């Protein structure tokens, strides 16, 4: 398949990566990153965001999945040539403590196969663009967290890749540093840059400010993806939501408003005796109608303001069954779900089912219902089984995390050997990194064995060893 500007920057179908015996990871995950601009990759901690990004970069072996990069089939394990079109900055990147910022970029530029003249030119340009020129020749441990985050982005930008993948770039930053980095990200994906940025984050307000489209995942699977504005519009049921404040409120007045054909729902606002939250089933402006009805019932409309929903509302609705008020936002439950409306190339996709063969992205628009404007996805919202003792669950989570770290370390050592064989790393540096990696693997295996021994043989056993009631 030839590359074309009509293709997404990145498309993934049915990505599966499971860690050890824990069952954690990602399953049949779908991800489509439109070309140009910023695309948010949202999920709570542990949802599978970092796992997905490492799979894209070939840092983890996958059990299944199809990848396309700018319209071309892409194999993360062997697609070195195509992978040069991607720049990647991991969450909390680690830099050699003995190197200056400039030396870090020069070393990484050599590993990417850049010519020495290009490395010098790009390093100077990047330090200036990221406002780090004053610290270029200072050792990295002297950098603030914000400066280190910028240095990580500079590494990702070496070679001028078309797709930047940034994993939680603002993690751990103070508010000022976060604001500076957000401005930088806007510039990186500006209209004239020709660049696409995939931004992984659990900072909902950050995605709201920066991204024009978003993919939301939970439990290792995709829930929904599409343009932010259209997703929020679908959450609102295709209509508007108003908060109307009256001089006084009575049942006849509420009944009059509910009887209007354009009104889908009208209920008192919690904590207020004279306010209604009104959801319409269209984009009609009924404020004058509300005012007339109020006068007819012996009262006055004091204010009527349109409520604006956010990415946070969308995320909490889908992931946590959020209930903004009892009247307007119903909790996500388990109603029967009708198949999505079929349409060619829809801008908004609700991922309901991951077929093992054939097209992986469900080409359907979200099916709207009067009481719940977004069709719930059964797999993502099924109630959990009764919880074990919390200490057992915490221990299992620690084991899963260690298994993931062990898998990562082993794969990194495997990649390191390839770098040596291809002449992209010197022997002395290889030996140093290999020793460090093997030591780390030994530490993880020791911790993992200790924690596995702490697991109860009887799943109903509690901390004291007595059976739970």
pLDDT digits (tens, 9 = 90+) for 169-198: 888 788 888 888 888 888 888 767 789 999
Residues 399 and 427 in one domain: yes
Q: What tokens does 60 get? A: 């983890």
- Let me know if residue 384 belongs to a domain: no
188 and 258 inside one domain: no
> Does residue 249 share a domain with residue 160?
no
The pLDDT assigned to 307 comes to 79
Q: Answer yes or no: are the C-beta atoms of 246 and 272 closer than 8 Å.
A: no
Report yes or no on 354 lying in a domain: no
- pLDDT attached to residue 393: 63
> How high is the pLDDT of residue 140?
94
* Domain edge (last residue) among 312, 340, 368: 312
61-to-17, 57, 77, 156 alpha-carbon distances in Å? 7, 10, 7, 21
Asked if the structure places residue 375 within a domain, the reply is no
| The residue to which tokens 């990415």 are assigned | 311
Does one domain contain both 216 and 253? no
For residue 169, what are the contacts with CB-CB under 8 A and spacing of at least 6?
A: 89, 91, 149, 152, 153, 181, 185, 199, 201
142 and 66 in a common domain: yes
Helices (H) and strands (E) in the chain, counts: 14, 17
| Domain assignment of residue 319, yes or no | no
Residue pointed to by tokens 């012996």: 298
Domain termination site, one of 251, 283, 312: 312
Per-residue pLDDT at 229: 85
Q: How many CB atoms lie within 10 A of CB 414?
A: 11
Tokens of 338: 């009708």
Whether 279 and 135 share a structural domain: no
Predicted local distance difference test score (pLDDT) of residue 235: 67
Query: Where in the sequence is the domain holding 423, given as residue range(s)?
Result: 389-454
Name the domain count of the chain. Answer: 3
Model pTM score: 0.62
Based on the fold, state whether residues 286 and 423 are members of the same structural domain.
no
pLDDT at 348: 45
Alpha-carbon distance values, 267 to 204, 258, 264, 302 (Å): 28, 9, 10, 17
- Residue 323 counted as domain residue: no
Tokens 């072996």 locate to 61
Per-residue pLDDT 10s for the chain (469 aa) are 444 567 999 999 999 999 887 778 999 999 999 999 999 999 988 899 999 999 999 999 999 999 999 999 999 988 888 888 999 999 878 898 999 999 999 999 998 889 999 999 999 999 998 889 899 999 999 999 889 999 999 999 999 999 999 999 888 788 888 888 888 888 888 767 789 999 998 888 889 889 999 999 998 999 999 998 888 777 666 667 889 999 999 899 999 999 999 998 888 887 888 999 888 887 788 999 999 999 999 999 999 988 777 788 778 777 765 433 333 333 333 222 222 222 333 344 444 433 333 333 223 323 333 333 333 333 333 333 333 444 566 667 678 777 877 777 777 777 777 667 666 667 777 777 777 778 778 878 887 888 788 777 654 444 444 444 4
Contacts (Cβ under 8 Å, ≥6 apart) of 323:
329, 330, 331
306 plus 449 within the same structural domain? no
CATH number at residue 241: 3.30.70.3190
* Shared domain check, 46 and 100: yes
Q: Which residues pair with 38 in a beta bridge?
A: 197
* 345 belongs to a structural domain: no
Please give the Cα distance from 27 to 161 (Å, whole number): 28
In a domain, 464, yes or no: no
**Range 385-400 burial, b when 16+ CB lie within 10 A, else e:** eeebeeebeebbeebb
95-100, Cβ contacts within 8 angstroms, sequence gap of 24 or more:
95/140, 95/148, 95/151, 96/140, 97/139, 97/140, 97/141, 98/139, 99/139, 99/140, 100/136, 100/137, 100/138, 100/139, 100/140
Q: Residue 403 domain-assigned?
A: yes
Do residue 209 and residue 287 come from a single domain?
Answer: no
Residue that terminates a domain, selected from 263, 287, 312: 312
Distances in Å between the Cα of 235 and the Cα atoms of 192, 313, 328 are 32, 9, 11
Whether residue 215 is found in the same domain as residue 241:
no
Q: In what order do the strands lie in the sheet with 10-18?
A: 25-33, 10-18, 64-69, 72-73
Residues 262 and 172 in one domain: no
Alpha helix (H) ranges present in 158-235?
A: 175-188, 204-210, 228-235
The helix-helix angle for 228-235 and 311-320 (nearest 10°) equals 60
Q: What is the CATH number of the domain that holds 118?
A: 3.40.50.300
């Amino acid at each position: 398949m030839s590359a074309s500007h009509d293709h997404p920057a990145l498309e993934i179908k049915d990505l599966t990566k499971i860690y050890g015996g824990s069952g954690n990871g990602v399953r049949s995950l779908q991800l489509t990153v439109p070309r140009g601009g910023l695309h948010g990759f949202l999920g709570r901690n542990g949802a599978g965001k970092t796992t997905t990004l490492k799979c894209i970069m070939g840092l983890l072996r996958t059990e299944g999945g199809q990848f396309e990069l700018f319209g071309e089939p892409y194999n993360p394990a062997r697609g070195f040539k195509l992978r040069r079109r991607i720049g990647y900055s991991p969450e909390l990147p680690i830099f050699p403590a003995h190197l200056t910022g400039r030396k870090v970029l020069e070393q990484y530029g050599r590993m990417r196969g850049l010519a020495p003249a290009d490395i010098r030119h790009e390093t100077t340009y990047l330090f200036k663009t990221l406002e780090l020129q004053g610290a270029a020749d200072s050792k990295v441990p002297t950098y603030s967290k914000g400066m280190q985050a910028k240095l990580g982005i500079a590494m990702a930008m070496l070679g001028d890749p078309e797709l930047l993948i940034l994993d939680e770039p603002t993690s751990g930053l103070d508010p000022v540093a976060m604001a500076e980095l957000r401005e930088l990200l806007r510039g990186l994906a500006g209209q004239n840059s020709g660049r696409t940025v995939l931004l992984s984050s659990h900072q909902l307000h950050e995605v709201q400010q920066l991204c024009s489209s978003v993919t939301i995942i939970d439990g290792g699977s995709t829930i929904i993806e599409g343009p932010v504005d259209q997703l929020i519009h679908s959450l609102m049921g295709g209509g508007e939501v108003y908060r109307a404040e009256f001089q006084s409120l009575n049942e006849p007045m509420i009944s009059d408003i509910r009887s209007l054909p354009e009104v889908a729902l009208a209920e008192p606002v919690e904590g207020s005796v004279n306010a209604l939250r009104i959801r319409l089933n269209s984009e009609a402006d009924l404020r004058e109608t509300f005012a007339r009805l109020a006068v007819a019932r012996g009262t006055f409309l004091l204010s009527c303001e349109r409520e604006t929903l956010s990415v946070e509302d969308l995320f909490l609705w889908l992931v946590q069954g959020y209930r903004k008020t009892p009247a307007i936002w119903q909790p996500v439950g388990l109603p029967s779900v009708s198949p999505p409306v079929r349409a060619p190339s829809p801008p908004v996709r609700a991922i309901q089912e991951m077929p093992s063969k054939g097209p992986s992205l469900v080409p359907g628009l979200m099916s709207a219902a009067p009481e719940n404007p977004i069709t719930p996805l059964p797999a993502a919202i099924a109630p959990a089984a009764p919880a074990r003792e919390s200490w057992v669950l915490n221990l299992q989570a620690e084991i899963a995390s260690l298994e993931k770290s062990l898998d990562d370390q082993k794969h990194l050592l495997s990649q390191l050997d390839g770098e040596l064989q291809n002449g992209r790393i010197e022997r002395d540096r290889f030996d140093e990194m290999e020793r460090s990696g093997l030591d780390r693997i030994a530490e993880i295996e020791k911790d993992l064995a200790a924690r596995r021994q702490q697991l109860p043989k009887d799943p109903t056993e509690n901390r004291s060893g007595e059976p739970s009631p």
